[in-house]
C-alpha cells in the first residue's frame, strides 16, 4: 500500500515533537517531508539565552541531528520556506518554487518577535531575539559596541539583557509597565526580582513608552513619549511575539490571533493541522514548551488513528533561566474577588511564596528565592488540590530525600516531556546511568526548558544514597524477550499487530511461540489497546468446566429445572456450588459443549485466555434483595470485559461485612449508604481491603465501582492483582482520579465504548480494529 505523504511546514520544537511521536506510533504510515526556514536541524529555542550567556553552544542545544532525520527516512529541506498552501489541490509551494502534494499537512510556523511599529525600527543595530542567528549577531555586536538597550522586561527580554551584560555590555531594560514580568509575577515578586537584577548590573527604565529610534543608517539611541532619551548602540526588541499566521491567512484557513484549531489540532480546512505557537485553541495561544508538546502528542495520536481524549488546554508555568536567581510561577497570579491566598515573605532571606485559591482549590503559585517544591506545587495545581494540602507544601518544603521517599513512581518530574520519577529510576537501573546528561539523553528529562534540572539532579543523588531502596520489579517481560512490560505496550501501540504470533515474530522473540506468561499478556494488551479485538477460543480439551451465569446469585425454578435436565441428558459427572454462589458443571465432554451452551439459554464464558468477571457475590442475609439486584446490575455491565488478573467483587450488608472486606472490590451497605473497600486479599495471607470511599446511594456506588474497575483495567500490568496495583499507585492517587468528576465520567465513557466494541466486534475474530 502506498504511504500517505505528511508535510510539516516548520522545523521547530512543537512540529518535530509531533513527528517524533508519529514515528513512534507508526513509523511506516507516512512519507514525511519537513521544510524549515532556518539552515539548521531542530534545536531547543528555549535555551537560546544559555547560548547568549555563554553557557551552551548550538551543538549543545540541538535536539535532533541530521542523522536522526535520515534514520527515520524523513526528508528535510533546511533554509526553505513554505509560502503557499493550495487546499483544493492539497499541495504546497515553497520560496524555491518547489511544488509538493500532501495527504496531511501540519502547519508549525511558530511565532516572530514583535517589532514595534515606530520610526527607526528598521535601522542597523536593531534586532529581535528569536533564532540562533539573532543570538550569534548579538554576540558579535557585543565585541564592538558598549551600550545596549532591551525593550521589554518579560521572560525573553530579561534573559537577553543578562546575556548581553555577561558579554560585557552596559545594559538598560525599558518596560512600559510599572513592574517587570507582569504576566508572571505580582508586585512583590517583581520588585524582588528587579532588585536582584540591579545588583547584577542591569538598569531599569519602567513606565516608558518608546516612540522612535534615532540614528542615520545605524541606531544610536531611543526616544520616549515623555521626552526623555537614551543612548544605545545595540537595541533588542523583546516586547512580545506574534504567531506566524500569514501562510494560513493566504490559504483561507480560519484564524484569530493564531490559527484556530479544535481539540484534535485540526484547522478549518480538511487534512490541514496546526500545532505550537502559531495555533490558537479555545481562544488561547501558548508559548511555553509543555503545552506545545502536549499538542504535538495529541495530534500524533489523532493523525495515526490512535484513540485519545484530545487537547484540553494547559496550565502555564514560567521559570526565569538566569543563574543564581530562583523564580517560578504557574497559573493565576493576581487576586480578585473570587480568590483567597497564602503569602509567606521573608525579606531578610529573600524568599517570597504565594498560593492563590478559588473555591479552596489551588489556582496559581509564585515562588521566589526557594523553588524546591515547584514540581509538587505544579502537580497540585494541575490536580486542583485542596487548600489544606497545598498549605503544608508552601509552609514546609520537603528536603529532596524525604520528597522522593513519599513521591509515587507515577508522579511527573519533567512536565515538558512527561517523564515520571519511575521512568527515570528504571532508566538509571537498566542502563547504568550516572550523570544528568545521560538521563537527559535517555529519557529527555530536563532536555527542554531545563526547569526540572535541579530536581533530576536531586533524584540522581538520592538514588546513590545508602538509604535508597531500589523499586521492586523485573527488568524484562519474561524469559522470551529482553523487552520490559512498558516496552511491549509501547510497541503494541506503535505497530498494527493482528495477533500475538505476529507481535512476537516482528519483535524478535527468543522463543518462537512464546510462553504461558507472554502470550495471554499480549492478548490482553491487544484487547485493551484496540477494543473490539476478538481473542480466539483456546484449543479444546477432552473435558471442560462450565458455570451458568446467575446474576447476583439469584435463580428460579425454570433455570434450575433446565440445568438439571441438561446434567442428566449429557451425563455431566460433577456438579458443585462455588464459594461465589454459583453452580459449577465439571467433566463436560468438549464435543457436547456447543449444544449445552445452546440448551442452557444462559450466558456463559469458557475462554480461559481471558480473565473475566465470573460472578459478583451478594449478601443473602435477611431482606437483602436490594443488594442482590445491585450486584446483578453491575455484573451484567462488566461480565464481557477482560481484566489484567482474576478479580473478585462482593456486596454485603453490615451484619455480613467480612467477605466484602476481603475481596478485590467490596461494598458494604450501611444505614447511611455504602462503604466501598478495595485491595482485600483472600487465602492464607488474607488481609482486609482499605476503605476507599463512602457513597449515599446505589447509583453512585455502581458508578464508583465501575470507574474503579475501568481505571484498574487501563493502568494495571498483566497479572497484577488489585491489591498490588493499589500498593503501586497508592490509594491517595486512585482517590484523586476517581473523586474528580470529569475524570470519573471519562473512565465510564471509556468503559461504555469498550463494552460496545466487545459486544459488537467490527471485524472478524483474530484481528483487531486498526487505530
Mean pLDDT calculated for residue range 346-365: 87
Partners of 31 in the beta sheet?
5
Which secondary structure element, helix H or strand E, spans residue 225, and what is its range? none
**Phi, psi dihedral angles at 42 (to 5 degrees):** -65, 130
Separation CA 372–CA 375 (nearest Å): 8
What is the DSSP code string of 76-107?
Answer: EEET--EEEEETTTTEEEETT--EEE-SEEEE
Q: What confidence tens digit (pLDDT) does each residue in 200-230 have?
A: 999 999 999 999 999 999 999 999 999 999 9
Check whether 236 has a pLDDT greater than 90: yes
Q: What confidence tens digit (pLDDT) does each residue in 416-469 have?
A: 777 878 778 878 877 788 888 888 888 888 877 777 787 888 888 888 776 676
Percent of the chain with pLDDT over 70: 86
Among candidates 161, 112, 111, 110, which has minimal Cα distance to 138?
161
pLDDT value, residue 475: 43
Phi-psi region of 271 (alpha: psi -120 to 50; beta: other; left: phi over 0): left
DSSP annotation of 2 reads P
What is the DSSP code string of 539-568?
Answer: PPPSEEEE----GGG---HHHHHHHHHHHH
Does pTM top 0.75 for this prediction? no
pLDDT value, residue 765: 36
Asked which of 58-72, 271-285, 524-538, 676-690 is least confident by mean pLDDT, the reply is 524-538
Check whether 19 has a pLDDT greater than 90: yes
pLDDT value, residue 528: 76
pLDDT value, residue 321: 67
Mean pLDDT calculated for residue range 6-16: 96
B/e letters for 617-643, b = 16+ CB within 10 Å, e = fewer, are: bbbbeeebeebbbbbbbbbebbbebbb
Check whether 367 has a pLDDT greater than 80: yes
- Show the cell assigned to 533: 479485538
- Show the cell assigned to 258: 493564531
Separation CA 361–CA 365 (nearest Å): 12
> pLDDT confidence of 652, banded at 50, 70, 90?
confident
pLDDT, greater one: 496 or 264 = 264
pLDDT, greater one: 263 or 414 = 263
- Show the cell assigned to 119: 520610526
pLDDT value, residue 605: 52
> pLDDT confidence of 474, banded at 50, 70, 90?
very low
Separation CA 499–CA 533 (nearest Å): 9
Partners of 215 in the beta sheet?
219
Query: Do 689 and 662 form a contact (C-beta atoms < 8 A)?
Result: yes
pLDDT value, residue 570: 84
Mean pLDDT calculated for residue range 22-50: 90
Provide the CA 712 distance to its chain's centre, in angstroms: 18
pLDDT, greater one: 13 or 409 = 13
- Most confident of the following: 80-84, 323-327, 357-361, 514-518: 80-84
- Show the cell assigned to 314: 494547559
Provide the CA 596 distance to its chain's centre, in angstroms: 48
Q: Is 451 exposed, middle or buried (0-12, 13-18, 19+ CB in 10 A)?
A: buried
pLDDT value, residue 683: 64
Q: What confidence tens digit (pLDDT) does each residue in 103-116 have?
A: 999 999 999 999 99
Percent of the chain with pLDDT over 90: 35
Q: What is the mean pLDDT of the chain?
A: 83
Dihedral angle over CA of 591, 595, 598, 599, nearest 10:
-130
Separation CA 32–CA 513 (nearest Å): 35
Mean pLDDT calculated for residue range 578-601: 76
Mean pLDDT calculated for residue range 475-481: 65
pLDDT value, residue 228: 95
Query: Do 10 and 107 form a contact (C-beta atoms < 8 A)?
Result: yes
Q: Enumerate long-range contacts of 360-364, CB under 8 Å, 24 or more apart.
A: 360/386, 360/387, 361/385, 361/386, 361/387, 362/331, 362/387, 362/390, 363/331, 363/332, 363/339, 364/329, 364/330, 364/331, 364/332, 364/333
Q: What confidence tens digit (pLDDT) does each residue in 484-497 have?
A: 776 677 777 766 67
The angle, 0 to 180 degrees and rounded to 10, between the axes of the packed helices 155-166 and 132-142 is 40
Amino acid at each position: 500500500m502506498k504511504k500517505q505523504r505528511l508535510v510539516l511546514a516548520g522545523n521547530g520544537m512543537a512540529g518535530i515533537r509531533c513527528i517524533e511521536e508519529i514515528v513512534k506510533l507508526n513509523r511506516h504510515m507516512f512519507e514525511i517531508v519537513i521544510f524549515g526556514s532556518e539552515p539548521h536541524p531542530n534545536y531547543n529555542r528555549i535555551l537560546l539565552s544559555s547560548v547568549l550567556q555563554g553557557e551552551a553552544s548550538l551543538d549543545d542545544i540541538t535536539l535532533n541531528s541530521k542523522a536522526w532525520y535520515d534514520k527515520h527516512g524523513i526528508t528535510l529541506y533546511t533554509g526553505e520556506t513554505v509560502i503557499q498552501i493550495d487546499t483544493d489541490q492539497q499541495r504546497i509551494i515553497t520560496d524555491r518554487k518547489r511544488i509538493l502534494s500532501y495527504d496531511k499537512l501540519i502547519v508549525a510556523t511558530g511565532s516572530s518577535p514583535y517589532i514595534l511599529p515606530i520610526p527607526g525600527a528598521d535601522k542597523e543595530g536593531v534586532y529581535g531575539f528569536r533564532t540562533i542567528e539573532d543570538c550569534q549577531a548579538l554576540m558579535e555586536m557585543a565585541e564592538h559596541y558598549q551600550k545596549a538597550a532591551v525593550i521589554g522586561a518579560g521572560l525573553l527580554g530579561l534573559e537577553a539583557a543578562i546575556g548581553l551584560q555577561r558579554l560585557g555590555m552596559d545594559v538598560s531594560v525599558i518596560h512600559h509597565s510599572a513592574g517587570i514580568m507582569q504576566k508572571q509575577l505580582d508586585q512583590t515578586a517583581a520588585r524582588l526580582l528587579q532588585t536582584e537584577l540591579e545588583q547584577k548590573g542591569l538598569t531599569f527604565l519602567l513606565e516608558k513608552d518608546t516612540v522612535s529610534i534615532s540614528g542615520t543608517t545605524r541606531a544610536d539611541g531611543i526616544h520616549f513619549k515623555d521626552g526623555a532619551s537614551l543612548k544605545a548602540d545595540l537595541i533588542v526588541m523583546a516586547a512580545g511575539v506574534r504567531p506566524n499566521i500569514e501562510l494560513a491567512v493566504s490559504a483561507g484557513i480560519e484564524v484569530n490571533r493564531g490559527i484556530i484549531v479544535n481539540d484534535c489540532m485540526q484547522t478549518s480546512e480538511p487534512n490541514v493541522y496546526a500545532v505550537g505557537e502559531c495555533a490558537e485553541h479555545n481562544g488561547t495561544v501558548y508559548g511555553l514548551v509543555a503545552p506545545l508538546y502536549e499538542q504535538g502528542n495529541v495530534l500524533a495520536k489523532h493523525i495515526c488513528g490512535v484513540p485519545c481524549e484530545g487537547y484540553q488546554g494547559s496550565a502555564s508555568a514560567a521559570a526565569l533561566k538566569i543563574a543564581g536567581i530562583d523564580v517560578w510561577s504557574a497559573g493565576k497570579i493576581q487576586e480578585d474577588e473570587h480568590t483567597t491566598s497564602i503569602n509567606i515573605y521573608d525579606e531578610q532571606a529573600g524568599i517570597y511564596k504565594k498560593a492563590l485559591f478559588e473555591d479552596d482549590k489551588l489556582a496559581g503559585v509564585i515562588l521566589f528565592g526557594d523553588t524546591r517544591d515547584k514540581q509538587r506545587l505544579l502537580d497540585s495545581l494541575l490536580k486542583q488540590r485542596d487548600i489544606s494540602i497545598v498549605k503544608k507544601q508552601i509552609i514546609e518544603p520537603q528536603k529532596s530525600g524525604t520528597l522522593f521517599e513519599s513521591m509515587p513512581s507515577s508522579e511527573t518530574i519533567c512536565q515538558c516531556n512527561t517523564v515520571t520519577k519511575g521512568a527515570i529510576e528504571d532508566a538509571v537501573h537498566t542502563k547504568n546511568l550516572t550523570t544528568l546528561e545521560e538521563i537527559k539523553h535517555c529519557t529527555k528529562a530536563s532536555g527542554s526548558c531545563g526547569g526540572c534540572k535541579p530536581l533530576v539532579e536531586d533524584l540522581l543523588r538520592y538514588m546513590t544514597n545508602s538509604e535508597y531502596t531500589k523499586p521492586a520489579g523485573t527488568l524484562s517481560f519474561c524469559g522470551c524477550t529482553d523487552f520490559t512490560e512498558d516496552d511491549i505496550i509501547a510497541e503494541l501501540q506503535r505497530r498494527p499487530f493482528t495477533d500475538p504470533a505476529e507481535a512476537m515474530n516482528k519483535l524478535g522473540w527468543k522463543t518462537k511461540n512464546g510462553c504461558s506468561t507472554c502470550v495471554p499478556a499480549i492478548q490482553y494488551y491487544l484487547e485493551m489497546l484496540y477494543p473490539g479485538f476478538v481473542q480466539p477460543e483456546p484449543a479444546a480439551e477432552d473435558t471442560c468446566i462450565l458455570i451458568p451465569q446467575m446474576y447476583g446469585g439469584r435463580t428460579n425454578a425454570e433455570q434450575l429445572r433446565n440445568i438439571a435436565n441438561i446434567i442428566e441428558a449429557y451425563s455431566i459427572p460433577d456438579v458443585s456450588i462455588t464459594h461465589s454462589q454459583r453452580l459449577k458443571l465439571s467433566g463436560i465432554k468438549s464435543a457436547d459443549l456447543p449444544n449445552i451452551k445452546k440448551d442452557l439459554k444462559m450466558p456463559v464464558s469458557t475462554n480461559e485466555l481471558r480473565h473475566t468477571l465470573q460472578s459478583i457475590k451478594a449478601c443473602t442475609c435477611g431482606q437483602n434483595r436490594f443488594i442482590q439486584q445491585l450486584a446483578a446490575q453491575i455484573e451484567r455491565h462488566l461480565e464481557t470485559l477482560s481484566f489484567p488478573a482474576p478479580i473478585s467483587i462482593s456486596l454485603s450488608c453490615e451484619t455480613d461485612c467480612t467477605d466484602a472486606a476481603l475481596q478485590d472490590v467490596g461494598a458494604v451497605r450501611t444505614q447511611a449508604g455504602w462503604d466501598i473497600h478495595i485491595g482485600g486479599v483472600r487465602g492464607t495471607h488474607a488481609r482486609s481491603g482499605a476503605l476507599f470511599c463512602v457513597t449515599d446511594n446505589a447509583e453512585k456506588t455502581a458508578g464508583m465501582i465501575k470507574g474503579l474497575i475501568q481505571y484498574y483495567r487501563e493502568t494495571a500490568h498483566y497479572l497484577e492483582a488489585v491489591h498490588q496495583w493499589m500498593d503501586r499507585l497508592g490509594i491517595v492517587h486512585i482517590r484523586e482520579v476517581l473523586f474528580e468528576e470529569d475524570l470519573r465520567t471519562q473512565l465510564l465513557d471509556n468503559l461504555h465504548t469498550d463494552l460496545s466494541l466487545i459486544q459488537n466486534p467490527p471485524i472478524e475474530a483474530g484481528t483487531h480494529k486498526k487505530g
